[in-house]
Amino acid sequence: MIDALLSWADVVLMNFRPGLAEKMGIDSKTLHALHPRLVIGEITPFGKQGPDASLSAMDIVVQARSGLMAAMGRIVDGRPAPGEPVISDYMAAMSLAFGISSALFRRERTGVGGIVDVSLMKAAMTLTNNQLVRSEDLDRDKHLERIELLNRQRRDGESFETQMGAIPTARVLPLRAIYFRTYEAADSTIAIACASRALQVRFLKALDHADPSLESPGDARYDDVYYTTLQAEIEAKIRSKSAAEWVTILNDAGVPVSTVKFPIEMFEDPQAEANGMFYIVEHPTAGRFRVLSPPVSLDNEGFRAPPATPPFASETRRLLGELGFDEPGIQTLLDAGVTRSG
């Protein structure tokens, strides 16, 4: 049936948990080999390569992992918190749509489809774009110093608000109180995303805690007072271990989780490095800059990271020539001050 559908389809979208498509024999490379005209769009949590490639995630975890949550600066009860819109999800979907449109356009010219790859992490980092550009010559050493300061503050148990100083809900009650939020661990902050009952059960089991309300939803006994008490108990339990310990425990339990990172930490992040999320721009006068690569990848160099923008007005004559102006006409425009050439 799948082959019958794919024989006439133009686009296939994949949003499986990491590794499932390969187990089913319908991963993008396999499908593309069988149906070369097919355009295949894939969304992964953290990219296909690197140490986190096999992990699951939802928007709040990706916001934490990517630095976006810290960049937005929203703090609730002293903890970093996401905004209500699931903006990483939305940005990933928009990026995927753009990539698929581009692949379809290319297919019209070449007759060959392609594989469009988008990750929630890269989409979130794209939204943090202004904070993810730095001069490698001027800023890298300063950033490393700031990261070391952050690590010291975390070891010393400083609050997230204090940590922020080192850097130049509409959800139902059970979710926002317990299951879909950030927590302060012993040294740092983590974000968890347990939107489904199955994930909530896994979370509680990992903590060796209980929530009887899961067995009796809507029971009047489970009111604000109940959740306030449960919240305090779980907060105390999570404060008893480090963020790294909880990340290991909850990942092993299959619960989406991440420490809350700052954008500055993304520059040295192994997951970003493994998936080519940054590249170096050589600017002729300003030096080397590490900047985000395009948010969408397309096989066979379908998207290329651009070079530095040429100096202002240096391209005037070339561009006007491409538009059909001859040299005398270009000089007339320059002499009249309509444009300039540098």
Out of 95-99, 149-153, 161-165, 193-197, least confident range: 161-165
The answer to whether residue 73 scores a pLDDT higher than 70 is yes
Quick one: CA torsion of 256, 259, 263, 264, rounded to 10 degrees?
Answer: -150
For 287, the 3-state DSSP assignment is: strand
Pairing of strands 287-292, 134-135: antiparallel
Average pLDDT (221-237) is: 92
User: Which pLDDT band holds residue 76 (cuts at 50, 70, 90)?
Assistant: confident
Beta strands 79-80; 75-76: pairing state: antiparallel
The whole-number pLDDT of residue 121 equals: 96
Helix and strand numbers, DSSP H then E, in the chain: 17, 12
pLDDT in tens, 295-336: 888 888 788 888 888 888 999 999 889 888 899 999 998 999
* pLDDT tens string 164-210: 887 874 456 788 889 999 999 999 999 999 989 999 999 999 999 99
Question: Given the structure tokens 């907060």, which residue do they identify?
Answer: 235
Spatial distance between the Cα atoms of 113 and 77, rounded to a whole number of angstroms: 49
Q: Which residues pair with 190 in a beta bridge?
A: 183, 259
pLDDT of residue 169: 43
Angstrom distance (rounded) from CA 242 to CA 106:
49
Highest mean pLDDT among 1-10, 76-85, 269-278, 316-325: 269-278
Q: What whole-number percentage of the chain has pLDDT above 90?
A: 63
Q: How far apart are CA 81 and CA 10, in angstroms?
A: 40
pLDDT at 170: 42
pLDDT of residue 258: 97
* Of 116 and 320, more confident: 116
Q: Inform me whether the pLDDT recorded for 1 exceeds 60.
A: no
- pLDDT at residue number 245: 98
Gap between the Cα atoms of 164 and 274, Å rounded: 27
What does the pLDDT average to over 115-126? 95
- Helices in the chain by DSSP H: which ranges? 2-6, 20-24, 28-34, 59-66, 68-72, 87-110, 120-127, 140-155, 160-164, 173-174, 197-207, 224-238, 243-252, 263-266, 270-274, 316-322, 327-335
3-state secondary structure of 341: coil
Q: How far is CA 131 from CA 18, 124, 126, 128, 141, in A?
A: 29, 12, 10, 6, 16
- Residue extents of the structural domains in the chain: 310-342
Q: Does the reported pTM lie above 0.75?
A: no
Query: How confident is the model at residue 219, as a pLDDT?
Result: 76
What mean pLDDT is predicted for residues 19-47?
91
340: DSSP letter: -
